Chains A and B, each alone.
Chain A
Amino acid sequence: MSIPGLGQIAPQAPTSTQRTITLRPFGEWRFSIPHQHSTFSSNSSAAGVTVRLVSGTAERDGTELAPNSVYTFLPGTKSKLFTDQGCTLEINNTGGYPLEDRVVEYPSPEQSPMLQYINFHFGLQDFERAAAVTAQQQQQHGSIRYQQMKAQPKPGPRVLMCGPRGSGKTSLVKTLAALATRMGSQPLVANLNPTDGLLSLPGTLGAAVFGTLMDIEDPEGGFGVTNTPISGPSAVPVKNPMTFYFGREKVEDDAEMWKQMTERLAGLVSRKFERNRDVRVAGLLVDTPPLEEGWWRGRRGWRVNYVVVLGSAELQRAMGTRLAGEKTSYGEPIAVLGLDKSDGAVEIEKGWRQKSTETAIKEYFFGGIKARLSPFTQSASFDELVVFKAPDEPYEGAPVLERVEPTPEMAHWTLAVMIASVTDSPQTIRFSSILGFIVIADVDVERRRVKFLSPVSGRLGNHPLIWGRWPEPYLNLLA
């Protein structure tokens, strides 16, 4: 579909939109499909760039592509398809999207960082998870050792992923989770980086079990909010997130709050481990913000026994020193491992991230290509809504939340609906988990009514709302 006036896109018009590439083992096809401007969207016949695995095996972040199925990668996807056995891919860009892509191959597997990741996975799988299974069995069979300990058997590996910005932490977490899932494990993934959201909108911290296939087409590769439960069937199994509302972009914006929230989250994860044998054996993968401070302050409660440092020898040394001699509460030493960063890992630019956030919000309410959702527009009086606001600038002794009346500035903000009661203390509300989100469409001060978009119909009842400081409203969803 050549579009007049779009210059260089035309030449690679209909005939050349389809091509086939062949990758050698440990090769990668890296691609990036920029976000669309809203004016340009939905014009084209194709929703995105389609890829079909003709032969061999290929995977996106550890999740295998089904042979001969057509996958559509939407605008706003920046990722790679990797093959450890070699493959042929058929790539089709009938929509004429400004796809940027390249093939990367390494002279030998040893030079691909993916090999390290895979080996790391096998290390966890063969030693840690296997040992956890054994421990489990021993406990079940009443082995003396564990009876004496009167404790939970040691869980599977708990891995903390850290590294500089843009070192590929999230991708690696995703990959490790997917690889484990492929082999039948159900690892728990936790995200401590408020800039991303794990199965949630940005500005949140959360955790979820990944026991099922991850969505290859999701721009976020299975970590996107679009993978959370909907009211209908879902072609890719949904995941069940547990999220806290941080409401700020960076840890530094409210470090104390972040710390408390991660501790809460760690507590929930421990409880999950206690309750769920499969998850306990599979272990935990923790994604962190790109902060050295971050790993340290959030670490203890997680009882991690592996700290993976991506692409920074310096950070690794620092951590090795810092963690030397430390033990988890299970008595294990903490291993600090360095893994190479993939040269394909890049820092996400601000503009891109902003668009991605927008997309996430849209997908939360309206769904993606797989399922169209119909949110509900509702209207409520000021009295029916209980809105709390996080203070603009946190300071020592500041209230965690302030009750506010809806104001016109609130328009287009995304508010978190909390699983708590309006009568609860601000503290309780702040640290309860998120029920969902609404977007304020309009605030009519005169009539004291608020119009908002909600995923589920029905009144909000006595669920309080929290108005965070981030992500800021970028778009008018109802326009």
Chain B
Amino acid sequence: MKLATMSAAEDAAADVAEDYRQALEDLTVNSRIEIATLTNIARENSQHAMAIAEVLANHIKKVPPPRTLPALYVLDSVVKNVPTPYALYFGPKLYSIFMGAYTKVDNPTRRKMDEMLKTWKEPVPGSTNPKPVFPPEVVKPIENALIAAKNVALQVNQSSFQGQQYMLRGARGPAPPHRETPTPPNVRPATQQPGHQYPPSNGHMPPHGGNGGFPMRPHNGPDVLPPRATTQPPYGGAPYHQPPQAAHQGISIERLRDDIQQLIVAEKAEFVRDPLDVGKQTRLKALLDLQTLIQRPDVPQEQLMLVKEKITELSVNMRGSLPAGGTAGVAPVAAGYTVPPYTATPTPPVIPGAIGAVPPPQVPAGAGQQRPPSAPAVAGSAPVAGAGAGALSLDSLFGQGALAALLAGATRKSATPTPTQTGTPIPPPTVPPPVAAGVPAPAPVPAAAASLAASLPPALAAVLQSRSHTPTTAIPGAAAVVPPAPHLEAAIPKPAASAPPTVPAGAVPPPPAPAPGAANPSALLAMLRQSGLLSGGAAAGGPIIKPEPGTGLLPIIPNPLAGQPGEPSPLPAWAFTLKQYRGPHFINRLHEDLGPPCTQCGRRFGTDDEGRRKKTAHMDWHFRVHQRVTDAERRGQHRSWWVEQSDWVSSVEAIDVDHSHRPDATSAQSKGIPGQDTLNYDDEDNDDDYDPEASFNQSYNSYSGASGADAAGGYGGAKSQGGAGRGKGGKKGPGGTKNYIPVPEDSAKVNNMCPICQERFEMKWLDEAQEWVWMDATKVGGRVYHASCHREVNGTGAGQDGGVKLENGGGSAGGGWGGRKRKAEDDGFSGVNARIKLEY
């Protein structure tokens, strides 16, 4: 009944929400009347505030940029006019709503949003309530994020955008500088892309380095991997100073990693939606590998910058092509463009040309089109720039020009710090022409590994492997100087060419490497090495894949160079990153993300409605168990027999409470083994009656429900009636079933005479129960009756109850005893199979 009302309420809420959604759809311009109307609707339906708030939040996330501001104004209006309960509902989500919107709109709108944000810090004008619209702890993170974002943008792009930035900042009033905000100007000269007006923001608002920027998920301290931060560098001589260095340079690896992580999450969502889409798979793979590589301590800043830029763009595009969701926070605007990227990429068409054989990736054309302004700028600095044809997954990921750009950056980078390579960006003797030609495609940036992973899992993984395995042998930079390209060429292409591995999970063929790609692997490796991404240790000796026996190779790939006959076992992309520590966020998925733990057993429950419901059931379960454990022990308990095969097959785990309905109860009705006294049982019935009793069903394994009734009062009642029904039948019928209850502890309080027949109960030591019992007794309400008398009198009442159960073997709960004693005498095991429902 309660359920019915609840669902009715839910229906009503759903209706209101749907209406509201449609009304919002119609809101295209900033119309005060419409907004006022929407506010009124929200006010009138405040009992469905949660649904409305959700609709509105979703609407803001999804609505195209030009219509974002009106939608935000609705939020503003609703919150100011109906603060209770709307401010409460929006509060926790405000950060993501606001930042999501902020990232997609254009600058004038942003200014409007800034103004709006300011009003949120103050009380509603004309209101008597002195409290601000939103509490500071809600608004502050947003402010911090914006300030930090602007600071970073400012730095990256100081010279050209200075004025504008200051203006922007000025408009919002002075803001406390964020401590992790990088300071040094002149970070990036020349080669760099224009930089970011607003840096890529994931949900965490990067510039904070996790310092409170993201209200939902507070981190303590900088977002540095704690273990690394606290431990001695395990990497031999390689200094492990990434975080500070990164901060100094204006690019935080953590931030980048977060961005990538964000993309991965989004991409995963996509992937899950359609696991067979090769494009998605490829990109996901690429991202994962990129993530790995980015962790390398010796990745040059230039590359990071480049990668970051691409990631930024990618996230914009991703967001464009994704339905609003996980990526809402992914934000970035490539700053060179005054046009907001969102508008620049209204629909996601397929990248033309560049991708070659790669099935249509989801990257909108915008990715490619947007790039030209920036990419050539970078590419121009390197000789290898133009040849971007070979496109592996990286191209699908980053778009064509990106690779060249990345490459260019990479080469330059490797050229400069390396003593032997000073001077020309790429000394012709070192990198043979074919290599150079092949290079641009796979792009030796970290992400290149990703593209490789798609086409050459074994080889790449092995390389990565050897890298991660022998970190001490890494000679960053130095070894990169002389990449023995020919060696590599000899070594690597083989597996690529001869054994195109299949991607496991979804039977998705990997994107075949296009023809020019044949030379790629080697070139790629060369470049990787050159760029310092791959340490030279492996490069120096021809054989790259050198499994160290004994030490666990992870994953151990059958060495393709060893001339093995069989194809290497195909591994899913994720299996290549098993050794990679993805940071505390990842670990949190096993802890905080699951919700707070139960104080008694440590199980975690979510904080949403579903989680709360489960937790309530769980705590009830704990409570009941505690209540009965001592009792059960005093009375004596024993191991139960185990269940028969078909029962095991059809049994369902009941967690905390068996609210779960047996999906196929009929089949659970015993099939039994021939000759065995099998019992039908259909727990459907019991499920309903016994819900709260679930944990105690086992106690009936040997005693009749009567004992349960005694101890558990209420819920045992139904059971003992079932038993009573049976008892009656037994008494009148042949055989005589024993129905009994334990002698009440305080006999004085209980009638010791049957109110119906005025006879005393027969007290008896029942061996099986190991206690004194009243035979043929049942407890109904507070009184004890002869089971048989009670049934006679209440004929239909109790009898029916019992009868129904009995037909279905309800007595089964009584195990070998109680209601089924008679049978039990024939076969002590008869009850065994009946009892499947376990105590969970």
Contacts and interface: CB of A to CB of B under 8 A. Distances in A.
Partners in one complex: yes
B553 to A, nearest CB: 6
A364 B640 CA distance: 10
A299 B816 CA distance: 39
A275 B662 CA distance: 10
A34 interface: no
Interface in B560-575: 564-572, 574-575
Contact of B227 (A25, A119, A323, A420): A25
Contacts of B698: 229-234, 238
A320 B816 CA distance: 52
B829 A337 contact: no
Contacts of A120: 575, 578
Given A340-B554, A436-B642, A456 B591 contact: no
A239 B653 CA distance: 8
Given A123-B574, A268-B645, A230 B653 contact: no
B206 interface: no
A119 B578 contact: yes
Nearest to A62: B590
A108 B581 contact: yes
A85 B587 contact: yes
Contact of B590 (A26, A67, A183, A420): A183
A87 to B, nearest CB: 11
A434 B232 CA distance: 54
Contact of A421 (B566, B652, B674): B674
Interface in B221-236: 225-228, 230-234
A127 B576 CA distance: 14
Interface stretch (B313-321, B527-535, B595-603, B778-786): B595-603
Contacts of A213: 601-603
Interface stretch (B363-371, B420-428, B626-634, B789-797): B626-634
Given A24-B227, A66-B602, A335 B572 contact: yes
A271 B644 CA distance: 14
B535 to A, nearest CB: 15
Contacts of A107: 227, 231-234
A69 B652 contact: no
B354 interface: no
Contacts of B565: 321
B673 A421 contact: yes
Given A116-B578, A233-B695, A457-B702, A321 B829 contact: no
A279 B663 CA distance: 13
A261 interface: no
B572 A209 contact: no
Contact of B566 (A130, A179, A325, A417): A325
Given A118-B587, A212-B653, A242-B645, A69 B556 contact: no
Contact of A240 (B226, B579, B651, B701): B651
Contact of B816 (A331, A372, A458): A458
Contacts of B577: 119
Interface string A341-352: 100000000000
B827 interface: yes
Interface stretch (A10-18, A91-99, A397-405, A459-467): A459-467
Nearest to B673: A420
A193 interface: no
Interface stretch (B142-150, B729-737, B831-839): B831-839
A379 interface: no
B648 A240 contact: yes
Interface in B786-834: 815-817, 824, 826-830, 832-833
Contact of B552 (A313, A364, A367): A313
Contacts of A475: none
Contact of A232 (B628, B652, B835): B628
Given A109-B581, A183-B594, A338-B554, A371 B629 contact: yes
Interface in B494-536: 502, 504-507
Interface in B650-692: 650-653, 655-656, 663-664, 667, 673-677
B552 A311 contact: yes
B424 to A, nearest CB: 37
A122 B816 CA distance: 45
Nearest to B549: A313
B273 A335 contact: no
Interface centre among B574, B601, B632, B828 (most CB of A within 10 A): B601
A160 B90 CA distance: 47
Contacts of B598: 66
B57 to A, nearest CB: 25
Interface centre among A68, A84, A130, A317 (most CB of B within 10 A): A317
A460 B828 contact: yes
Interface in A56-95: 57, 63-69, 84-86
17 contacts: A63-B602, A110-B580, A113-B552, A119-B582, A131-B275, A134-B275, A230-B637, A231-B640, A275-B667, A276-B652, A279-B653, A321-B564, A324-B558, A333-B570, A374-B636, A420-B673, A432-B673
Interface of B: 225-228, 230-234, 268, 271-273, 275, 468, 502, 504-507, 547, 549-559, 564-572, 574-575, 577-582, 584, 586-587, 589-591, 594, 597-604, 624-626, 628-629, 632-633, 635-645, 648-653, 655-656, 663-664, 667, 673-677, 695-696, 698-703, 767-768, 770, 815-817, 824, 826-830, 832-833, 835-836, 838-840
Interface of A: 24-26, 57, 63-69, 84-86, 106-111, 113, 115-116, 118-120, 122-123, 126-128, 130-131, 134, 179, 182-183, 186, 209, 211-213, 228-243, 268, 271-272, 275-279, 305, 309, 311, 313-314, 316-317, 320-325, 331-341, 364-365, 367, 371-376, 417, 419-424, 428, 432-436, 455-463
